[in-house]
Amino acid sequence: MQQDLEIVAEALESKEKLSNFLRTIEPFIYQTAYYMTGKKMDAEDVTQDCLWKVCRSLSQYQGQGSLRGWVHRVVVNTVREQARKKKAQFVELNETLPADGMSVEKQVETKMTEENLHQAIAALPENYREVLVLRHIHDLSYQEIADTLQLTEAQVKTRLFRGREKLRTLFTGGEEV
């Protein structure tokens, strides 16, 4: 926590240092927004909104919880706000395919599996999607997820369990595993 306060204090020293700080967190914000919205343009909009919000409110960060968790909260809240405005659903995983030495057939098979997974994740309710993205994409601890989403650790574990079960069912085409 002390290190986070030092990072914030340094970022607030000058416009140049603040700009450097924002450039440092921008890829992280974009990645989170992209996983949660599933659309590049929406992720770009969320990223810009988040950077603006972080810039405006960084001086209010008091060190209660990690800086990473604080930024996650800003992203999650901004995505929720945008979804409410658009009444849209979020999430699709990234579109990149590792092409290193893979045959065309294997690439197509991998892409089809990835698309099925994306569709299954997009079909999940928002509360399950959020915890799955924060846990498995960003590797946050249960406590960090709880702090970010303002839940108890038990609620996070329950949502993760239920989300994984729903994802498994959706991914296998509704078949019980």
- Would you state the pLDDT for residue 134? 86
Let me know if 34 is exposed, middle or buried by CB neighbors in 10 A (0-12, 13-18, 19+): buried
Same domain (yes/no): 3, 66: yes
**What DSSP letter does each residue of 127-168 carry, written as one string?**
HHHHHHIIIIIS---HHHHHHHHT--HHHHHHHHHHHHHHHH
- Per-residue confidence in pLDDT tens, the chain, 177 aa: 678 888 888 888 888 999 999 999 999 899 888 888 878 888 899 999 999 999 899 888 888 888 888 888 899 899 888 888 776 444 444 444 445 566 666 666 666 667 766 667 777 888 898 898 888 878 889 998 998 899 999 999 999 999 989 888 876 666 554
- Would you state the pLDDT for residue 16? 92
**For residue 61, how far is the Cα from the chain centroid?**
20
- SS3 label, residue 174: coil
Q: How many structural domains comprise the chain?
A: 2
- Would you state the pLDDT for residue 143? 92
**Interatomic CA distance for residues 23 and 29, integer angstroms:** 10
Count of beta carbons in the 10 Å neighbourhood of residue 131: 28
Same domain (yes/no): 41, 125: no
**Interatomic CA distance for residues 136 and 3, integer angstroms:** 25
**For residue 117, how far is the Cα from the chain centroid?**
16
Q: By the 8 A CB rule, do 79 and 87 touch?
A: no
For position 152, which CATH number holds?
1.10.10.10
> 132: domain range?
96-177
- Would you state the pLDDT for residue 78? 92
Same domain (yes/no): 47, 101: no
